[in-house]
Amino acid sequence: MSEPSGIRVSPEHAPIVSSSKPLFRGEQLPQQAPPDVWMTPVAPRHIPSHLSNESRTAKSFRILIADDHDVVRRGVRTLLEGHPGWAVCGEARDGREAVAKVAELKPDLVVMDVAMPTLNGMDAARQILKDRPGTPILIFTLYESDELIRQVLETGARGFILKSDAAENLLLAVEALQRRATFFTARAAKMMLDGYLHRNNGDPGNATRDLLTAREREVVQLLAEGNSSKEAAVLLNLSVKTIETHRTNVMHKLDVHSVAGLVRYAVRNSIVQAA
């Protein structure tokens, strides 16, 4: 039998499309279907249920924020999470919590304040880099001094910016560290160019700072913040006798004879910030 004029019949009774009257096994096809086109039914594509939106996108750049002020952490989080591909994976209220959170969460970057209770940001950064070498750390602080900048660079932090410049520099700094570059204030960059790391000129602050162990610096900070030996022992999970031994050793090394002397040393070396 010849085919009706203007109509082609597909094998196996496939859809028939006519320039005048489209048919599909006896059913009417939409009038907007173009003429003379094979209309092969297509089953809906099955998408596995275990695929989430996150798995279809690039992995987020995960950031930990360490600062003892809630309002600062909220502001920093808002700035960072407004950037595509970045996510704040955790927050810490002091240096000791920051060290623990880094070990737990393994962030791609740490934004770290300096002046924090129980363990300052610089000593927290030292512990983090000892436990997880290569972790990018951005020091984010209110204060800028030559001594602090020296410590930042000697510690191995890859960035240093002021909180007063956050709106201008925070995102730029994080972008730089994400690229494995560095980002420092102009003052810090000048010190790097001056080659201070090779000076070894007998600076007494540098010499005395190097005399103390990491644990001794922790004890100095806690005592300088006004904690008793018993309170320091609880915070460090040590005995009171061990704290007293550390204090005696520190005073001997630094040739100081009172807690007031320890406080002056802690302020001069950016272990604590002057009120």
Domain boundaries, the chain: 59-198, 204-268
Name, of 33-37, 162-166, 223-227, the range with top average pLDDT.
Answer: 162-166
Q: For 125-152, write each residue's pLDDT tens digit.
A: 999 999 999 999 999 998 888 888 888 8
pLDDT computed for residue 84 by the predictor: 94
Asked whether residue 5 carries a pLDDT value surpassing 80, the answer given is no
Name, of 64-73, 199-208, 259-268, the range with top average pLDDT.
Answer: 64-73
Mean confidence (pLDDT) of the chain:
78
Question: Residues 161, 169: contact at Cβ < 8 Å?
Answer: yes
Average pLDDT of the residues in 24-38: 47
Residue with more model confidence, 258 or 128: 128
- Helices (runs of H) and strands (runs of E) counted in the chain: 11, 8
pLDDT computed for residue 191 by the predictor: 74
Q: In what order do the strands lie in the sheet with 109-112?
A: 86-92, 61-66, 109-112, 137-141, 159-162, 183-184
Distances (CA, A) of 243 to 139, 163, 214, 240: 29, 34, 13, 5
Asked whether residue 23 carries a pLDDT value surpassing 50, the answer given is no
Asked whether residue 105 carries a pLDDT value surpassing 50, the answer given is yes
Distance of CA 86 to the CA centre of its chain: 10
Distances (CA, A) of 238 to 87, 194, 218, 234, 248: 36, 42, 12, 6, 15
pLDDT computed for residue 206 by the predictor: 55
Q: For tokens 């704290």, name the residue.
A: 243
Name, of 102-116, 189-203, 244-258, the range with top average pLDDT.
Answer: 102-116
The answer to whether domain 204-268 has CATH 2.60.40.10 is no
204-235 in b/e burial notation, b at 16+ Cβ within 10 A? Answer: eebebbeebeebbbbbbbbbbbebebeebbeb
Q: Which of 127, 170, 133, 125 is nearest to 151 (CA)?
A: 125
Q: At what angle do helices 204-211 and 146-155 cross, to 10 degrees?
A: 40
Residues above pLDDT 90, as percent of the chain? 40
Burial grade of 92 (CB within 10 A; 0-12, 13-18, 19 or more): buried
Q: pLDDT category, 42, cuts 50, 70, 90?
A: very low
pLDDT computed for residue 172 by the predictor: 95
What fold, for 59-198? Rossmann fold (3.40.50)
Question: Residues 213, 171: contact at Cβ < 8 Å?
Answer: no
Q: pLDDT category, 85, cuts 50, 70, 90?
A: very high
pLDDT computed for residue 45 by the predictor: 45
Q: pLDDT category, 264, cuts 50, 70, 90?
A: confident
Residues above pLDDT 70, as percent of the chain? 72
pLDDT computed for residue 183 by the predictor: 93
Identical fold at 59-198 and 204-268?
no
